[in-house]
Amino acid sequence: MTPNNRANFGSKLGAILAAAGSAVGLGNIWRFPYETGEHGGAAFILVYIGCVLLFGVPIMIAEFSIGRRSRANTARAYQILAPSTPWRWVGRMGVLTGFLILGYYVVVSGWTLEFIMEAATNSFAGKSADEFIASFSQFTANPWRPIVWAVVFMLATHFIVVKGVEKGIEKSAKIMMPMLFILLLVLAGCAVALPNAGAGLEFLLKPDFSKVNGSVLLGAMGQAFFSLSIGMGCLCTYASYFKDDTNLPKTAFSVAVIDTSVAVLAGIIIFPAAFSVGIQPDMGPSLLFVTLPNVFQQAFGSLPWLAVILSVMFYILLALAALTSTISLHEVATAYLHEEFNLTRNKAAWIVTIGCTILGVFCSLSLGIGKEYTIAGLTLFDLFDFVTAKIMLPLGGFFIAIFTGWYLDKRIVWEEFSNRGTLKVGLYRLLIFLLKFIAPIGIAFIFINELGWL
Ligand code: PFF
């Protein structure tokens, strides 16, 4: 426990892994490939990497600094660092964003449990690509099954969050992250060996810049914020549990490298496989779930037992990657309710669990019986995704950059970046420049360009 009696991550590696555990999740393996597919491939990836470097890493370091300096939940953090100012609304908006993301994220997390079952019962065997597509849309449109899985997933998240920071979050991240990475490497090797895989690799690696428009920029920026878990105070909350000697710039950079590698690896699995079996890369959120079973089938068709083992392992690891992210989303709102409203952690966690489960039920139904009810042409599921990833997170990031770059006393920023002068931070000036100018102007430009407002 730290002097003010809050919990702590036990080790430096634990801090990196917990933050990476939050960042690496469905955003990398499910969302990144379909956003890349919808936005034309390689050029999107380059814009994405640009967003990670110019906005992502500096804003992550800023969030870490705010969290560790204040040692409080994200809303209180602003109250401590900027008392009696409207800055606390940035923290509150973050809590709301996390709540909404968890509402639909848990639905997709639930799908991974269905796929563990399907893989374990060998039900991928003998299906064609079209059959995978049909059975997936039948499953997501079912009014019960996906909801039951989402509830199971929400409860698992709940109990880990209630168990506390070190035991729950750190331990699960330490074991599953390296395993997931190794399995992804194996699958990438299998995918590129499929017939016609070259076309998929070309799609992924050969940029066509004529395709870059406002929607590509907004998509890449939103994906960077979503994937890195920044813009809503999630990593700010985690950093409030960091130790005083955790190296913030190094941790942020490591998380960004791990996160981006996993996303690109997922692309190297999905696109060769999609092109190999004739699945359209721009088919949207179902891409991962209809493409991957083909990889297991085609690559290991002659060794069905191996196909079963590897596919079960993959979906378990995918579920665990999602779990370390749902835990972090849940923790933001739980820490807020617990510390701001004097509720026990248990009570605070139940409020979040029940609230997000209700949102999840509506999001899941919006893919089936509620399909007709749309807002601005989007189902509730798509609307939550659009509003949170493409608007609320970048907006949160915009304010975090301004807060750290302009408002916060530079002495505080320097002390946090350099652990009170004990670390050499060679890029300090560059980071401040990015936070002061490049991130806010870049985010505003992309908003104005695509959404026509601000
Ligand atoms: N970064 C997670 C992913 O890529 O799956 C999702 C996420 C977690 C977004 C936590 C935002 C957040 F605060």
Q: What pLDDT score was predicted for residue 401?
A: 98
Q: What is the pLDDT of residues 249-286, one digit of tens each?
A: 999 999 999 999 999 999 999 999 999 999 999 999 99
Q: Which two tokens stand for residue 205?
A: 């690696």
What local confidence, expressed as pLDDT, does residue 454 receive?
42
- Report the atom number in ligand 1 closest to the C-alpha of 23: 1
Per-residue confidence (pLDDT) for residue 304, from 0 to 100: 83
Could you give the 3-state DSSP secondary structure of residue 286?
coil
Distance 151 CA to ligand 1 centre (A): 19
Task: Say what the pLDDT of residue 123 is.
Answer: 87
Q: How many domains does the chain have?
A: 1
Cβ contact 57:252 at 8 Å:
yes
**Helix count (H) and strand count (E) of the chain?**
22, 0
311-322: b (≥16 Cβ within 10 Å) or e: bbbbbbbbbbbb
Any residues with Cβ below 6 Å from ligand 1, and which?
A: 22-23, 25-28, 98, 101, 226-227, 229, 232, 234, 325, 328-329
Query: Separation of 21 CA from ligand 1 center, angstroms?
Result: 9
The residues, any chain, with a CB within 8 Å of residue 363's CB and separated by 6 or more, are 103, 104, 107, 380, 381, 384
CATH code assigned at 430 = 1.10.4160.10
- The pLDDT of residue 2: 42
- Give the mutation target among 329, 331, 400 for probing the ligand 1 site: most ligand atoms within 8 A of CB: 329
Q: What is the pLDDT of residue 147?
A: 98
The residue ranges of DSSP E strands in 103-255, in sequence order, are none
| 185 Cβ neighbours under 8 A, 6+ residues apart | 265
What is the pLDDT, as a whole number, of residue 166? Answer: 63
**How much distance in Å is there from the Cα of 325 to the middle of ligand 1?**
6
User: Which position has the token pair 């690696």?
Assistant: 205
Report pLDDT digits (tens) over 400-419.
999 999 999 999 999 999 99
Note down the domain range covering 321: 3-450
Phi, psi of 120 (to 5 degrees): -70, -30
Residue spans of the chain under pLDDT 70: 1-8, 10, 12, 164-170, 452-454
Question: What is the number of the ligand 1 atom nearest to the C-alpha of 231?
Answer: 13
Cα angle value 310/314/318 (rounded, 5°):
175
Residue 159 burial class via C-beta count within 10 angstroms: exposed 0-12, middle 13-18, buried 19 and up: exposed
Burial bucket for residue 419 (CB in 10 Å: 0-12, 13-18, 19+): middle
Cα-atom radius of gyration of the chain, to the nearest Å?
21
Q: What is the DSSP string of 402-425?
A: HIIIIIS-HHHHHHHHTTTTTS--
What Å distances lie between residue 111 and 39, 209, 227, CA to CA?
A: 24, 34, 19
Longest C-alpha distance within the chain, in Å?
Answer: 67
Ligand 1 atom with least separation from CA of 259: 4
Tokens of 57: 């890493």
Residue 169: the pLDDT is 65
The closest alpha carbon to 2, from 236, 165, 173, belongs to 165
Q: Give the ligand 1 atom nearest the CA of 28.
A: 4
Q: Distances from the Cα of 404 to the Cαs of 15, 56, 231, 234, 411, in angstroms? A: 22, 14, 13, 16, 11
Q: Determine the pLDDT at residue 240.
A: 92
Specify the amino acid at residue 299: A
Angle of the 171-192 helix axis to the 12-23 helix axis, nearest 10: 50
CB atoms inside a 10 Å sphere around CB 202: 14
Å from CA of 332 to ligand 1 middle: 12
Which residue is closest in CA terms to ligand 1's atom 13? 229
Closest atom of ligand 1 relative to the 233 alpha carbon: 13
How many whole angstroms from 25 Cα to the centroid of ligand 1? 7
Q: How far is CA 388 from CA 24, 62, 289, 442, in A?
A: 18, 20, 22, 18
The alpha carbon of 297 and the centre of ligand 1 are apart by a number of angstroms equal to: 30
